[in-house]
Amino acid sequence: MDIESKITSAFAKLGQRNTEQRRIIFEKLIELGHTGEAFSAENFWQELRKTNPRIGRATIFRLIEKLEELKALERINFADGSHCFRICSCEGHHHHLTCTECRRIIELDYCIPEEQISAIQKQANFEIDGHSLTFFGRCEDCQKKDKQ
Amino acid sequence: MDIESKITSAFAKLGQRNTEQRRIIFEKLIELGHTGEAFSAENFWQELRKTNPRIGRATIFRLIEKLEELKALERINFADGSHCFRICSCEGHHHHLTCTECRRIIELDYCIPEEQISAIQKQANFEIDGHSLTFFGRCEDCQKKDKQ
DNA sequence: ATAATTGCAAACTGTTTGCAGCACG
DNA sequence: CGTGCTGCAAACAGTTTGCAATTAT
């Protein structure tokens, strides 16, 4: 499933009305999906209002929330506690590697082995239904920069 | 190293002056360390001002920040994006399991195998210097509650 | 004395909400 | 023409900051 159909199907599941705002947001997300660029909600809003001055902040927040639930968007946490959103090209469950200097994000297909999770589950008597994992470090470019 | 000496040594590293506020915060942290209770910064402040009305919010935030750097406190992230602090009894690096219903926190000694991290490092050409991992689920008690 | 530390209040960031009105179907 | 969706502005939560006053050493 490519990025375009991922977003398209999320919008289809979304709700009843095909409003102009949704079309605008859709277009922008397709664009961001292709470049792989990450964005904050505020950030995304600022970007959109350049061309569409009357679009409301709340509309963006409300839609981002829904798209996150539908897993069309992923929330990515940085080491400093801040976060941003991103449309990932990886299908299914995965994790990220983030650069603490330039905030570059890399998708990883690594995940914790299923048997480890069930061992933890059994040991703690929990019913585990998710986890969040992010690696922090310095990317290739930032390492080079620092050596100079 | 027990909780008491963990906090004591963090305070020793802290700075020059042994102020009354630090003593008050120290006492409260010892208490929270023993019960294992988690707290937000705001929360912690509200609790302290009951007995010490003139303690400032900023003092708490400033000190919590430093204690986190000194690894006397740990920041724990929940599934909904909120977070709290906690004094953990585990020594060294570890992770947590949090209940999405009652917010109970369990310390886990599981961690991602070193060789996996270096494989990721090599593959992505990153210099990994940390990671965050939290498992989400429902604790024993909340599972029971729901079955009733 | 003097510099670290604090309290206060105001500012700030990121997000949510209530509600009246718009516009999609 | 009904109601889902939106814009607005205000409220909110959590945190940070500037600065003058306080206080440990």
Question: pLDDT at residue A145 above 80?
Answer: yes
CA distances B111 to A30, B21, B77, B85, Å, are 36, 36, 17, 20
- Nucleotides of strand D within 7 Å of the protein's CB atoms: 4-10, 13-18, 23-25
Task: Please report, rounded to a whole number, the percentage of residues in chain B having pLDDT higher than 70.
Answer: 100
- DSSP-assigned letter for residue B139: -
- DSSP-assigned letter for residue A7: H
Instruction: Retrieve residue B70's tokens.
Output: 């000194």
> What is the predicted pLDDT for the residue at B52?
94
Tracing tokens 């609790």 back to the chain, one arrives at B47
Q: How far is the CA of A15 from the C1' of D5 (A)?
A: 10
HSE on the CB side for B118, CA within 13 Å? 3
Query: Among residues B20, B17, B45, B44, which one has the least CA distance to residue B33?
Result: B44
Which residues, other chains included, contact A38 with Cβ-Cβ below 8 Å and sequence gap of 6+? A76, A84, A85, A86, A103, A105
At residue B56, what are phi and psi to the nearest 5 degrees? -90, 145
Residues B25, B98 within the same domain: no
- Nucleotides of strand C within 7 Å of the protein's CB atoms: 4-10, 14-18, 23-25
Smallest CA–CA distance, residue A51 to chain B, in Å, is 31
Residues A80, A130 within the same domain: no
Strand D atom within 7 Å of A51 CB:
no
Chain B partners within 8 Å of A99 (Cβ): 126
**CATH number of the CATH domain containing A72:** 1.10.10.10
Residues B83, B114 within the same domain: no
* CA–CA distance, A66 with A73 (Å, rounded to integer): 9
Residues A67, A108 within the same domain: no
Residues A75, A105 within the same domain: no
**CATH number of the CATH domain containing A115:** 3.30.1490.190
Residues A62, A128 within the same domain: no
Q: Which one of A89, A104, A137 terminates a domain?
A: A89
Strand runs (DSSP E) across chain A, as ranges? 74-77, 83-86, 95-99, 105-108, 127-138
Chain A partners within 8 Å of B83 (Cβ): 81
Strand runs (DSSP E) across A80-126, as ranges? 83-86, 95-99, 105-108
Q: Which one of A45, A72, A89 terminates a domain?
A: A89
State how many domains chain A has.
2
Residues B52, B31 within the same domain: yes
Residues B45, B83 within the same domain: yes
Q: Across residues A84-101, what is the average pLDDT?
A: 94
Question: How does the average pLDDT of chain A come out, rounded?
Answer: 94
Q: How far is the CA of A17 from the C1' of C25 (A)?
A: 8
Instruction: Retrieve residue B68's tokens.
Output: 């986190």
Which of B's residues 60-119 have CB atoms within 7 A of nucleic strand D? 61-62, 65, 82-83
For chain B, 148 residues long, give each residue's pLDDT as a single digit of tens. Answer: 789 999 999 999 998 899 999 999 999 999 999 999 999 999 999 999 999 999 999 999 999 999 999 999 999 999 988 999 999 998 889 999 999 999 999 999 999 999 999 999 999 999 999 999 999 999 999 999 877 7
Residues A45, A100 within the same domain: no
Range with lowest mean pLDDT among A30-34, A48-52, A89-93? A89-93
Residues A99, A73 within the same domain: no
> What is the predicted pLDDT for the residue at B1?
74
B136·A127 Cβ contact <8 A: no
Domain extent, residue B27, equals 1-89
Chain B partners within 8 Å of A81 (Cβ): 75, 83
Contact A51, A36 (CB under 8 A): no
Q: Which one of A89, A105, A121 terminates a domain?
A: A89
> What is the predicted pLDDT for the residue at A148?
73
Q: Across residues A35-56, what is the average pLDDT?
A: 95
Residues A10, A69 within the same domain: yes
Hey, which residues 40-69 in chain A have their CB within 8 Å of chain B?
none
> What is the predicted pLDDT for the residue at B104?
95
Residues A83, A18 within the same domain: yes
At residue A48, what are phi and psi to the nearest 5 degrees? -70, -40
Which residues, other chains included, contact B52 with Cβ-Cβ below 8 Å and sequence gap of 6+? B24
> What is the predicted pLDDT for the residue at A1?
75
Strand C atom within 7 Å of B16 CB:
yes
